[in-house]
Every structure is written in C-alpha cells, then in structure tokens.
Amino acid sequence: MSEQRQSGDGPTLERLETGITGFDAITGGGVPTRRTLLVTGAPGTGKTTFGNQLAFAHAARGGQVIVVTLLTETHDVLLENLQGFRFFDAGLVGDRVHYLSLLTPLMEGGLDATIDVLRREVRQANATLLVVDGTAIADDFASSTFDLRRFAQRLESQSSFLGCTTVLLTSTGARDSDPLWAHVNGVVLLTNRLVGSRHTRMLELVKLRGAGYANGAHEFVIRENGITVFPRLESLAGRHRRAQRSTHGLGTGVVGLDAMLGGGLMPVSTTLVMGTPGAGKTILGLSFLMEGAARGERGLLASFHETVDDLATTAEGIALDLRRHIESGLIQVLWNPPLELSVDDWAWQILTAMEEHKPARVFLDAITDVQRIITEPQRMPMFVTALVNELRNRHATTLMSAEIDDYTNDQLVVPVPAASAIMDNSVLLRHVEVQGELRRLAAVPKVRQSVSDPSIREMKITDHGMIVTRPFSATSGLLTGRGGPASAEAEGEAP
C-alpha cells in the first residue's frame, strides 16, 4: 500500500505509490501519505481518470478507498465510463473501493457538515485513501475566502490524524488566486493545450512539501491503461556523464572510414552522422551494428521511417544478414512513425529497451526527426544532452543520424546545431555534383581525443557494402554539394 522512502540523510518519509506510470518517478516514489494532494485543471484534462486510477491501484495493493463525489456525474455513469480502462476492477467496487455522494450533506449543512461526514466515513471504512471529485463546488458554499481556506486546512489536519491520504480533484483557477493551493501539501496541475493542430496533455507538479520532485511540465497521455506520464528526460536523466577510455579501435564496419576516424571509434562515444537523403547514413548505421554482431555484441536500432522488414531488405542489398541477428535477438529494433509521438515517450522507450537488452552499440535514425516533432524546440539542446549522457552512462557506443535537407547549399549547415557540441565525433556523408556527375563523399569534421584524416574522400555503396576510396583532389566546394575545379586544371588523380 505504501512504503518508506529515504531522502538523503534526512528522516524517512512514507509514500503512497500511485500506480500511474511515470508519475511516481517525478515525485521520487509517490505522494506523501496522510497528507492532502490537490489535482486541478480545466474540464477534460484527466482529473477524474487520475483520481480513480489512483484509487484502484491502491485498492489492488490491499488499501481501503473512499471515492466521494459532489456535483459530478452519477456513480452508474462514472463506473460505466471507467470500464474502458484496464485499471478498473469491478470486483473491487463495494469491497475496497467505495463510492459515496456528499452533495446532500453539503447542501444541507455546508462545509463543516461535509468535513464531519468525511471523518465518519473514513473511520468506519478504515480508509487509507480518500478521493474527493468535484471539490470546486465547495467555493459555492463558502461564505468567505476564509471559510474555504479553513475547509482545506481541516482536510489536511484530518488526513494526518486519521492516517488517510486525501486527493482533491478540482477545476478551480490559477495558482496565484486559488486559496486552496496554499493549504494543501501538494498541487498537480493538468493542462490540455493545442500545439499546432495537435492536442498535448501536460502535467506539472507545482509543489510537494517535504519531498523532492522533478519540476517543470511533463507530457502525458490517456489510453486504455489510464494515464501514462512521460517525465521530461532532462529532469531525471543524463545529469552526469560517464568518463570514456581514450582508446580508439571500435570498428564502424567500413574500413576506410575507420582509418579516417584515426583507427575507429572510441568506446562509449557518440557520433553524429550527417548526410543528404540517400547518402548512406542508414547503411553506415547498419554496418556499425553488424560489425558489433560479428563480435557477439548486442545492438539496438531506433528507427522512425524504415520498419524491421525494410531495414532487413536494405541490409541484404549490401550483403548483410541483419534479419538473422534480429531473429536471434542479438539486434533489437524499435520502430515509431514520426507522427503524434512524444519525444520523451520515445526516449524512455529507448532507455527501457537498454535496461532489458543491454546493447553495446546503439543506432538512432534520425535525431532530426526528434527535432521536427518536439513540441518545444527550445528544449532540444537540453534534451539531446540528457539523452547522449544517459546513453554513455549505460555503456553504449552510439551513432545518431541527422538529415541534411538541401542537396546543395552555399554553406554547410549542421542539421541539429544543439547536438554537434555534445557529440564526440561527427561524420559527413553527402552527394556532390562533380563535372556533371553525382557522386558521394565522406568527411570527418570532428574526432575527440584522436587525430583524424582531414581529406574529403569519395565513398561508394556497392552490393558488398560501403567503401571509402581516394580523396577528391583539385576540387573545391564539395561540402556545399557542388564540386568545381580548385584551379584552371581539371580534377586530378590522387596519389
């Protein structure tokens, strides 16, 4: 029902686990017991779902719960609506989850009478959780702001005295004007805002006395499992960055590129692979994973566009049997279409898969898709930093691809400027026009703790894989996609 949580060297604080996926991670283990939590938000933001999901989770662990309704939908309608959620258990209704309407006592006796009835019902049921839905109506029965504050203060005191955690669900107003906010132990704010043409639900833990918590807004969804919260990645992950071994030699699967990188990749490093569409980014990522698989190393591929079958077919085109390693479980693929997806949901899927699969190599294809779907673009630098640090903390060597949209441009623009600084290495793959012929190039703009090959070399994709060959010589403008003679002479042969 609840458990003891230790916070540093301070006193032990008893917590009530909510059963709401992701929420307990934000609170550091659940909400403090025997105190009052206010859950507020506009109609339709998920308050009733929050309260009932918490109620059934607590009852399933053996607790006794009273769900009180004031001026809300009738209990038969409420229970009918709840049947669509997996957390709902009809067998618990009337046994461990008790529904009670207090509209009549409120109308006849006001706030004081309501407090008295709540105290009696909690005692009789020996309840350890009380959920009050429709608390906003209390404002209509308060003769003054003082009466409303006193009502909230009495609920808080009663929760402590009776050993019962109280959750108030309300649609009252802003944090700077609502008198209830100051007199409860914790406040959860739910919102549902329109971002472009997409509705995005956000949960903010405004305060939680006596406990640390992840601040800021966190995206959540309401599905058949109920509410699932996706903690903002940078609020919980990637705070520290694991030290690397300053040795190279981890192969990418492309011998010529390994030579350009100064002997290969540094273990537990992160490399940004930039390139135009079709330049070979995915093929390089597959070669990287297959090189590890040949050595018995587990791999993880997170893709936005190509499904498992598409990736296996692509690999077969360059003589790589990716399908065999996927079927054996050595390489795992996570596929998400880049549509209405929470970037935090995506990131936590990756980290969960890493906990279960424990890959030594990770390929994310592509970080520019994350940049396109993130609802708050200003988060991108912190999000990428947290993700890169967390991948390193989990001992993974990672390749992240990034799409360059323009086949030609007078300037080479890094697709994700926020990502380039945190990366250990960067590789550029792109198409270039040379004397009326479309060719591919490979360059290594950055390698940490090693000396790289500064030349821009030609790269070819054959039915036996990717091959890096000779440098382009006597040619300028290659990085812009247009290659021309550096002098009056035509392009010469490299030695």
Q: What is the CATH number of the domain that holds 102?
A: 3.40.50.300
* Cβ contact 203:229 at 8 Å: yes
Among residues 242, 179, 187, the alpha carbon closest in space to that of 209 is found at 187
Residues 271 and 315 in one domain: yes
Answer with the one of 231, 266, 291 that is the final residue of a domain: 231
Q: What pLDDT is attached to residue 74?
A: 83
Residues 442 and 365 in one domain: yes
Residue 169 is assigned to a structural domain of this protein: yes
Residue 203 tokens, joined: 């949960």
Q: What pLDDT is attached to residue 1?
A: 47
Domain that holds residue 166: 2-231
Cα first-last separation, the chain: 74
Q: What pLDDT is attached to residue 490?
A: 40
Query: Which amino acid is located at 281 in the chain?
Result: K
Distances (CA, A) of 194 to 197, 201, 202, 238: 6, 9, 11, 29
Residue 490 is assigned to a structural domain of this protein: no
Per-residue pLDDT of the chain (495 residues; tens, 9 = 90+): 444 444 444 456 789 999 999 999 999 899 999 999 999 999 889 999 999 999 999 999 999 999 998 877 788 899 999 999 999 999 999 999 999 988 888 888 888 888 888 889 999 999 999 999 987 777 777 767 787 788 888 888 888 888 899 999 988 655 555 777 877 889 999 999 888 778 899 999 999 987 789 989 999 999 999 999 999 999 988 777 666 666 778 999 999 999 999 999 999 999 999 998 989 999 999 999 999 999 999 999 999 988 999 999 999 999 999 999 999 999 999 998 877 789 999 999 999 999 999 999 999 998 999 988 888 888 898 999 999 999 999 999 999 999 987 665 655 667 677 667 788 999 999 888 777 788 899 999 989 878 888 899 999 999 988 999 988 875 666 776 666 665 444 444 433
Residues 291 and 227 in one domain: no
Residues 316 and 173 in one domain: no
Residue 30 is assigned to a structural domain of this protein: yes
How do beta strands 465-471 and 65-69 pair? unpaired
How do beta strands 270-275 and 299-303 pair? unpaired
* Cβ contact 333:308 at 8 Å: yes
Q: What pLDDT is attached to residue 8?
A: 44
Residues 217 and 270 in one domain: no
Residue 371 is assigned to a structural domain of this protein: yes
Residues 72 and 205 in one domain: yes
Query: Which amino acid is located at 49 in the chain?
Result: T
Residues 210 and 319 in one domain: no
How do beta strands 65-69 and 361-365 pair? unpaired
Distances (CA, A) of 373 to 8, 153, 190, 282: 37, 43, 21, 20
Alpha helix locations (H) across 239-364?
Answer: 255-260, 281-294, 308-316, 322-328, 343-357
Residues 6+ away with beta carbon under 8 Å from 178: 40, 172
Return the H-helix or E-strand segment holding 432.
strand 425-434
Collapsed DSSP state (helix, strand, coil) of residue 222: strand
Beta bridge partners of 169: 39, 133
When divided into structural domains, the chain yields a total of 2
Answer with the one of 231, 263, 278 that is the final residue of a domain: 231
| Prior bond of 113 cis (ω within 30°) | no
Residue 194 is assigned to a structural domain of this protein: yes
Residues 187 and 111 in one domain: yes
Query: Which amino acid is located at 467 in the chain?
Result: I
Residues 155 and 202 in one domain: yes
Q: How crowded is residue 373: how many other Cβ atoms within 10 Å of its Cβ?
A: 16
Q: How crowded is residue 291: how many other Cβ atoms within 10 Å of its Cβ?
A: 20
* Torsion angles phi and psi, residue 94, rounded to 5: 85, -15
Residues 405 and 262 in one domain: yes
Collapsed DSSP state (helix, strand, coil) of residue 342: coil
Q: What pLDDT is attached to residue 475?
A: 63
d(CA 92, CA 95): 5
Residues 6+ away with beta carbon under 8 Å from 277: 403
Q: What pLDDT is attached to residue 136?
A: 75
Residue 19 is assigned to a structural domain of this protein: yes
DSSP structure string for 155-187:
HHHHHHHHT-EEEEEE----TTT-TTGGGSSEE
How do beta strands 299-303 and 198-208 pair? unpaired
Residues 124 and 264 in one domain: no
The one-character DSSP state at 416 is -
Collapsed DSSP state (helix, strand, coil) of residue 350: helix
Among residues 417, 413, 406, 402, the alpha carbon closest in space to that of 367 is found at 402
Distances (CA, A) of 93 to 112, 135, 149, 352: 28, 22, 32, 34
Residues 6+ away with beta carbon under 8 Å from 450: 248, 261, 262, 263, 266
Residue 247 is assigned to a structural domain of this protein: no
Residues 452 and 359 in one domain: yes
Among residues 388, 394, 364, 251, the alpha carbon closest in space to that of 300 is found at 364
Return the H-helix or E-strand segment holding 140.
helix 138-141
d(CA 236, CA 216): 11
Residue 246 is assigned to a structural domain of this protein: no
Backbone dihedral region of 405: left (phi > 0), alpha (psi from -120 to 50 degrees) or beta?
alpha
Among residues 439, 462, 299, 409, the alpha carbon closest in space to that of 365 is found at 299
